Amino acid sequence: MATWVLSQCGVTPLPRLYPKPTTGISSYSNVKSYPIASFQSFKPNTTHTTLSRYGKDKKWGVKVSVPLAIDYVNEEESEITNEFDPSAPPPFTLADIRAAIPKHCWVKDPWRSMSYVLRDVVIVFGLAAVAVYFNNMVVWPLYWIAQSTMFWALFVLGHDCGHGSFSSNAKLNSVVGHFLHSSILVPYHGWRISHRTHHQNHGHVENDESWHPLSEKIYRSLDSATRKLRFTLPFPMLAYPFYLWSRSPGKKGSHFDPNSDLFLPQEKKDILTSTACWTAMAALLVGLNFVMGPLQMLKLYGIPYWGFVVWLDLVTYLHHHGHEDKLPWYRGKEWSYLRGGLTTLDRDYGWINNIHHDIGTHVIHHLFPQIPHYNLIEATEAAKPVFGKYYREPKKSWPLPFHLLGVLVSSLKKDHYVSDEGDIIYYQTDAKMTGN
């Protein structure tokens, strides 16, 4: 029942209306490390096209759906027409960005990567030991906040293993990835492969695997209560475990099922391995319930686990939603790997940046997931001159990123659906939802 409610609330990916996209690379971590040019196949044909492609003769009414909030201007206000259009094909290519990034930013240091794993694991067990030692209701809430953040940090390191940016050794990536992700009840290979699909289709309305928009047809088909729930906290921030199990309406299988259409036939062994590791961790937690008691396990693991889920859904949502300016989504021939990647957003998390391994530095990561997390900031700074206005500087955070809660609430109030038609589209707002 809970799975159905959350699925109907739109907190999992939408059914794909297009044929399943070509998965291209069969794995980020089960093959040899990719050379820097490995994403050349993603370079869109449109990237060499100049902005003049969209001149006066372009009939926007046929191809583009715009949000209701956009005001059109007349000829007497023609100077406004020179404003930056984020949906226009960029005057640079993926190769231009790659060339601007220093070569050492691509180097993967397994010893450095392992040092982050050691640091995070020591902190996780240290926090648990302190909480058990003091065992009072002043310490426990602090522990839950800190430990859920550390669980999220473990996920990010496992995420790097999935992309192959942890090291150039596929076996090391797989072993460490299984250890980290299984410890927080994530099926490593199942997630890795679906996340690959997300990266390969970022910014595509139908083919993106996570957090892509409701079409207006689907949105209007929901009853008012479901529609309200879909945009009401905390429900959208509790989606991840249900997504792993049942995916989304219209999409068969799950991240635990080797026969799911998420996976290629040759990946069946990987999925069985990850499901076995996940099952072993679940069995360990059940056993610890008998040893330590259910209440103690709830305090030590259960509450931090759900805090980690909130972190994951919050961060991943804000990487693709909530900018002050409307950002495009694409369909058909207008979509390309580069244009889709340029709609992702960097976010500043203050002190949390270092704790969760700079995952908020997200644009470069989406375009070049082979770059290790500890080089993302330098790579982003080097690429900014190439990006120009296509890069959106994140708002600086206080030590703790409370400002992002406002961004989340604002986005849920206005980013409701996209048009069923058009190859360049924007989120639109349901006036009835906002009371206007």
DSSP one-letter string for 270-286: HHHHHHHHHHHHHHHHH
Residue numbers of the chain with a pLDDT score lower than 50? 1-80, 249-250
User: How many other C-beta atoms lie within 10 A of the C-beta of residue 217?
Assistant: 11
In 215-267, alpha helices (H): 216-221, 224-230, 240-246
Give me 378's structure tokens: 């330098």
The per-residue pLDDT for 248 is 62
In the chain, the amino acid numbered 280 is A
Q: For the chain, give percent helix, strand, coil, nearest 5.
A: 55, 0, 40
The per-residue pLDDT for 119 is 98
The per-residue pLDDT for 331 is 94
Domain range summary for the chain, segments of one domain joined by +: 2-31+84-434
The per-residue pLDDT for 23 is 41
CA dist., res. 373 & res. 163, Å (int): 11
pLDDT in tens, 162-195: 999 999 999 999 999 999 999 999 999 999 999 9
The per-residue pLDDT for 48 is 38
Give me 37's structure tokens: 């040019």
Diameter of the chain measured on Cα atoms: 76
The per-residue pLDDT for 42 is 40
The per-residue pLDDT for 435 is 65
The per-residue pLDDT for 433 is 81
In 37-109, alpha helices (H): 60-63, 94-100
In the chain, the amino acid numbered 424 is I
Residues 19, 207 contacting (CB under 8 angstroms): no
